[in-house]
């Protein structure tokens, strides 16, 4: 096999920095040694090291603060798409504090899209709730959920800034969403989304939409989520059948 130059010095430098973070036990928000120290330690030139660090900043492993150095990023929240836990539960499991800011919670009539997703007649009353989800107080995603109210009349009485939609459906109404299909793509924040998430307009985000059904295959809800990849990582596991 040929072409020994195909592993660039930048690749190698990136690997060195990445394994150093693990080896030295650096914690989130800990500072990396100075560029000069790292160059000396691994016998790298400044440009190579800077390129490697830039790459790790781009991939969210590190962040820079002007004038004070390079730091280890806090881990992203990993959301396993297969488990049907609610957001709050997943955040708590990661040892962090979930939060929600209500944008609106209204009863409305099903339009054509909702009719298709929830398989209810046009004009059926549905519960539409839009929230900004936070982790340790930092806005991470905008979640809009439309709930089929067939089995959960009165759900709009709950305060979804404080309560988990998932828990209310399950505990109060015995409704459990157990399966679903979703689609993932890339989007950019519009002005409203940018304001809700405290980011700039045009910033890239993950767009996820889908629906959830109960054990009988009856649609429970449909949703769309705009999530910041800086804070949330989606995961899935594939198994041999």
Partner 1 sequence: MSTIDYRSPIYLQLREVVRTKIEEGEYPPGMAIPSENELSEMYGVNRLTVRNAVEALVGEGLLKRIQGKGVFVVGDRIERDLDTLSGFRQTIHERNAEPGTKILAKVRRKAGKLYARIFGISEDDDIFYIRRLNSANGEPISVEHTFVPSTKVPKLDGIDLSVFSLYEVYGFYGVSPVRAYQTIDLISLEARDARMLDVEPGATVMLFTCYTYDKDNDLIEYTRSYTRGDKCSFTVHNSA
The structure tokens listed for 77 are 């929240």
Site map 25..64 versus partner 1, x via CB under 8 A:
-----------------------------xx--xxx----
Nearer to partner 1, 1 or 66 (CB): 1
Residue 137, Cβ density class (10 Å: 0-12 exposed, 13-18 middle, ≥19 buried)? exposed
| Candidate ranges 31-39, 82-90, 107-115, 145-153; the one touching partner 1 (CB under 8 A) | 82-90
Binding test (CB under 8 A) with partner 1, winner from 78, 106, 122, 192? 78
Cα distance between residue 174 and residue 150, in whole Å:
12
Q: How far is the CB of 165 from partner 1 (least distance, A)?
A: 17
Cα distance between residue 225 and residue 43, in whole Å:
45
Interaction of residue 76 with partner 1, rule CB under 8 A: yes
Interaction of residue 170 with partner 1, rule CB under 8 A: no
Binding test (CB under 8 A) with partner 1, winner from 3, 65, 112, 162? 3
CA 100 to chain centre: 14
CB count in 10 Å sphere of residue 110: 22
Q: How far is the CB of 199 from partner 1 (least distance, A)?
A: 12
| Candidate ranges 66-74, 91-99, 155-163, 204-212; the one touching partner 1 (CB under 8 A) | 204-212
Q: How far is the CB of 240 from partner 1 (least distance, A)?
A: 4
Given phi > 0 = left and psi -120 to 50 = alpha, else beta, which region is 122?
A: beta
- Evaluate whether 77 touches 116 at the Cβ level (below 8 Å): no
Binding test (CB under 8 A) with partner 1, winner from 81, 115, 138, 194? 81
CA 24 to chain centre: 28
The structure tokens listed for 58 are 């781009």
Nearer to partner 1, 51 or 110 (CB): 51
CB count in 10 Å sphere of residue 210: 16
In the numeric block, the tokens 């390079």 are attached to 70
What is the binding site for partner 1 (CB under 8 A)? 1-4, 6-7, 12, 15-16, 18-19, 22-23, 54-55, 58-60, 76, 78, 81-84, 178-186, 204-206, 229, 233-241
């Amino acid at each position: 096999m040929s072409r020994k130059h195909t592993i660039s010095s930048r690749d190698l430098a990136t690997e060195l920095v990445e394994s150093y973070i693990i080896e030295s036990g650096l914690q989130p928000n800990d500072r990396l040694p100075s560029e000069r120290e790292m160059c000396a330690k691994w016998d790298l030139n400044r440009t190579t090291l800077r390129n490697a660090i830039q790459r790790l900043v781009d991939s969210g492993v590190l962040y820079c603060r002007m004038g004070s150095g390079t730091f280890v990023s806090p881990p992203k929240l990993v959301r396993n798409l297969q488990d049907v836990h609610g957001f709050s539960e997943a955040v708590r499991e990661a040892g962090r504090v979930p939060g929600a800011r209500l944008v609106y919670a209204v009863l409305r009539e099903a339009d054509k899209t909702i009719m298709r997703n929830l398989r209810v007649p046009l004009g059926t009353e549905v519960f539409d709730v839009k929230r900004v989800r936070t982790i340790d107080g930092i806005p991470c995603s905008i979640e809009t959920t439309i709930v089929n109210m067939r089995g959960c009349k009165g759900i709009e009485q709950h305060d979804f800034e404080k309560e988990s939609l998932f828990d209310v459906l399950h505990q109060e109404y015995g409704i459990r969403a157990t399966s679903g299909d979703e689609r993932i793509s890339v989007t950019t924040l519009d002005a409203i989304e940018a304001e809700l998430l405290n980011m700039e307009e045009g910033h890239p985000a993950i767009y996820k939409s889908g629906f959830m059904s109960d054990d009988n295959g009856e649609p429970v809800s449909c949703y769309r989520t705009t999530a910041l990849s800086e804070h949330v990582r989606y995961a899935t596991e594939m198994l041999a059948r």
